[in-house]
Homo-oligomer: A and B are copies of this chain.
C-alpha cells in the first residue's frame, strides 16, 4: 500500500509531499513524486505531524470519567475511585479501553503508555484498534518480607509481559510498573528492578505527584521518592516517571543522568490540586520530558494536543517568560520524546525510514485563520476536532470522523449498558 500526502505543511512550515510505503515513511520531497499511489490525500491547508504520544494514561478510567468531581484528592480516591476500581472486570476494562483507544485516535494519538489492571483486556482493545501502546500492570506492595515471586500482581505483570510483549508486530510492548513509592516497599522495588533488567523491560512509575507524597517519603525513608527508587536499583533500567511535580534539583539530576523520562501531566495535576511541574527547570536539568493525560477520571479528556497546549501555556505563564517554550519544542515533547520514552526509536519523527505513525490536522477552520505558521496554529489555536486523519504503521485508523478498525457505535452502546449497571 502506498499513500501520498499531497502538498501538506510540515511543522517547519515548508510544504512537502510525504510518501508512505507499507509501514514506513518512504520519502519527503519538495516536488510531487512520480506515482502511481494507491491513495492520494489532499494535504492543502493541513499540517502533518508525527503521531502524538500519550505517555501516561490509565485508558480504562474512561469508565470513571466524571465520577467524583470537585473533591479534594483523598476524598476523590477513597470515596470514589478506589471503591469503583474494586468492581473492575475484564469486560468493563475491555470496553472502557476500547473507547479510550477510539478517543485517542480521533485526537491524533498514535501511541500511549498505560498503567492499570486487567491489562489483557486493554491489550485486546489495543490489538483491535491498531494503535501502539506500552502497557503495564501496576504493582503495589506493603509487606517487606513477602515472596514477591508468588505475589498475584507480580505474577500478572510478568505473565502479561510473556503473553503480549512484542505482539501485533511490535505495536504492543509490555513494561513493568511500580505504582509509586508510597505504595511499595523497598524489597519489592529491588525485585521488580531485577525482573525488568532480566527481561529488558522498561518501568512506569508515579513520582512525586503531590507535595504530601514527597514530604511523607522524606519522613519515612529520609530521602526523596526519586532517591528511594535510585537506592533500590530502579534507575538501572529505563524509567518513565509520571508527574514529577515536586522533584528537587538532585532528583532531576538523577533522572537526567539515567536517561529516565519525566511525564508532565499538567491538566490532571491542576484538576486534582497537585500543583504545576516546573517544566523549564526540568528541561534545563537535561531530563527528557514527555506529555500525558493521566486517566479520564482526572483530566477529563484523553486529548494530548490540549495537554501540549496547556504545558506550553503554563511553561510561559507561571515563570512569566512567554519566550520560554516555543511551539516546536512543545510538539517535540508530544511526539519524539514520548516515543523515545517508550523505547520506540523508529517513530515520533517525520523522517524517511521512520514508522508512518502520523496525524493530519486540518487548519482551515475559523479558529486557525489565518495560518501564519502551521506549528504555532497547532500549539495555540487548533483543537482535537481539527484532526482529520490518524495513521499507525502506515494504516489509516481514523479519518474524518470514521474509524476503520473499531465499531465505535457498538462499543458506545455496550459500554453505556455496562456502565449503567456498574454499581449494581
Contact = CB atoms under 8 A, between A and B. Distances in A.
Nearest to A312: B271
Given A102-B366, A383-B385, A66 B270 contact: no
A389 interface: no
Interface of A: 62-63, 65-67, 69-73, 76, 99, 102-103, 106, 211, 267, 269-276, 296, 299-303, 310, 313-314, 316-327, 366-373, 376-377, 379-381, 383-385, 408, 412, 415-416, 419
Nearest to A364: B412
B73 A322 contact: yes
A416 to B, nearest CB: 7
Nearest to A371: B66
Given A271-B313, A366-B102, A69 B381 contact: no
Contacts of A99: 366, 369
Contact of A369 (B62, B368, B373, B376): B62
B70 A377 contact: no
Contacts of A70: 322-323, 325-327, 376
A380 B317 contact: no
A211 B310 CA distance: 22
A321 B74 CA distance: 12
Contact of A300 (B65, B321, B380): B380
A63 B372 CA distance: 11
Contacts of A380: 66, 69, 271, 299-301
